[in-house]
Structure 1
């Protein structure tokens, strides 16, 4: 019998932080959870477009092994700090941003003068610390669009001005992606999959936008492979009414001990051991009655007598009906 492959019905996006969200998709056909999860994760980390600082130039510095007077950080540390700037850019061409600061104090990313095409996400990111009132930090950076990770040694040195330092560029806007796959029940089957992905971005795009872009890239590749085939081998799951079965709470038997007209002390002793009905008393043997805690010899006799009297009344009632 041909088993249908249905598309997942539920997509839930839960924000876990400013730039983090957990996306749950279910139910996937058995085996499709890791298949889809791995494909999305690889595209999210490697193929989404983004922007990064690719070059920097410091006035008075010719290369990364130079020193800058009046600045606490060395040039290598400055390079690492500049690489940590998160940017977004709408310009397809490389665009320059500039920072010029004089006097003691901390220099952060918000001190850059940026054109309208560029947005700095982490404006409080530390760039340098000036330790001399007379010192000046004059820094120019180049922001470019790209994908994935591009090491500095792949940049053409001939295309850079003298004194410009190339930086390793991390263009991808996605910082971390993890996913888990759990089994879920669909009807009688228990091997369907629930895919849960946690995505953290650098703030230039939201996790929702990231997964939409990754899915779009995968869709375009698979559409090309499908060629002229325009059939559909998957479908939407038929909507069936789901009936949740709730177990009925067991009803407590009605307390009918009063029918035996026992003394209250004996009545309470029976209730303490869970005997609350005449039927329960009638099933007790003399030995079981004598084992009940709190019953003396007289009380045992009272219970046994009441039991026998009630049995006799029931038998007399049956005979009268006959």
Structure 2
């Protein structure tokens, strides 16, 4: 089935390759696009997928280890910086942090969380040793964090939160945390890699349409299908103000902020909005060429000129038929206007003296 809109051929299907699908990889095929739109849509989706999807990551750690000191006596070392050597731990804190950055989390609450890991050596410390609860889960518990080479006790306290994109360690510094807290770089994005290409596809007898092939690799905290839907939703939300330009006005009101217009009476606000609409050109209705030409020939160029006319007045215009009138009535209705409106004098735009 073909879907056309104002002469544009629009995509009719999004197919996921079932042979290669996994929880962390998906290969999608979307078609047909008009020539050039495959690149436009593919590049936009790729940028949003990589940078804008919400994920979760560790933001800081506090590390201490208790093991045998130089004289064989128990010694506890609290890491105060990345270059601290911990007794009984093969890796230094720098290497430990590199491994911790690879922990992939699903956080089920909105606020920042803390959690702990305690491990007795010798042995291998993995992300699966983290003490978990209902607030979060670890997607890659098999991840190796470090090796304990002898009898020792390793303790790590983690701070984590939800976020988007990438956040450097310096941005995670919090003066309210203990002085021995070490901030770490946070990789929030759940999408690890995106690749796309554009191929030719056929629509009817024409072969110059685009097929977009999109490959998505995730870290396992989201599926490729969910990542694609979320990225598309983000793009749509950013385009909504442009699509609804004439409904929302030139400035979108911020949530929770009382605009100056609302300080006026409701009646004054409505009159202002009506005046602005009536000053718009006929072209905002996006009428058919026939309807627009007929109105222009009758010297009707603004919505204010149009709404003062009745249906009978419109049908008297040369070559303006009932099909054109039905089209105009519907599009006026979309703007909250109608034919034969009683336009108050207050809505008249001031004339120059």
1:42 and 2:47 aligned? yes
Of residues 111, 131, 150, the one that matches 1:93 is 111
Q: 1:12 is matched with which residue: 3, 12, 15?
A: 15
Instruction: Tell me how large the CA RMSD over aligned residues is.
Output: 1.9
**How far 1:183 sits from its partner (Å)?**
0.8
Match of 2:176 among 159, 174, 182: 159
Shift of 1:3: 6.8
Taking structure 1 as the reference length, the TM-score comes to 0.69
Q: Deviations over 1:162-208 (max 9, x none)?
A: 11111110101100000000011112221100000000111111000
Q: Secondary structure at the match of 2:175?
A: helix
Q: Which of these two proteins has the greater Rg computed from alpha carbons? A: 1
SS of equivalent residue, structure 2 residue 221: coil
Give the match for residue 252 of structure 2. Answer: none
Structure 1 residue 22 and structure 2 residue 27: aligned?
yes
Q: In structure 2, how many angstroms separate the alpha carbons of the residues matched to 1:83 and 1:206?
A: 20
Q: CA–CA distance in 1 between the matches of 2:86 and 2:173?
A: 26
Q: Which residue of 2 aligns with 1:77?
A: 95
Contact 2:115/2:130, CA 8 A, preserved across alignment? yes
1:110 equivalent in alignment to 2:128:
yes
Q: CA–CA distance in 1 between the matches of 2:55 and 2:160?
A: 10
Aligned-pair distance for 1:63? 1.4
Residue 32 of structure 1 aligns with which residue?
37
Shift of the 14–144 alpha-carbon distance from structure 1 to 2, 3 Å rule, reads same
SS of residue matched to 1:158: coil
Structure 2 residues not aligned, in runs of 5+: 65-77, 248-283, 287-353
Deviation, 1:22, is: 0.3
TM-score between the two structures when normalised by the length of structure 2: 0.63
In the other structure, the counterpart of 2:316 is: none
- Decide whether the 8 Å contact of 2:55 with 2:162 is kept in 1: yes
Contact 2:56 2:161 in 1 (8 A): yes
1:177 maps to 2:232: no
Structure number with the bigger relative contact order (C-alpha 8 A, sep ≥ 6) is 1
- Residue equivalent to 1:136: 153
Does residue 1:226 correspond to 2:243, yes or no?
yes
Measured after TM superposition, the shift of residue 32 of structure 1 is 0.7
Separation in 2 of the partners of 1:129 and 1:117?
A: 27
Post-superposition shift, 1:228? 4.5
State the number of aligned residues. 231
Q: Does the CA-based 8 Å contact 2:25-2:216 persist in structure 1?
A: yes
- C-alpha deviations, 1:80-118, integer Å up to 9, x for none? 111111111022111111000112100101100022111
Unaligned runs of 5+ in 1: 234-322
In structure 1, how many angstroms separate the alpha carbons of the residues matched to 2:232 and 2:23? 22
Q: Deviations over 1:144-178 (max 9, x none)?
A: 00000001112234133211111110101100000
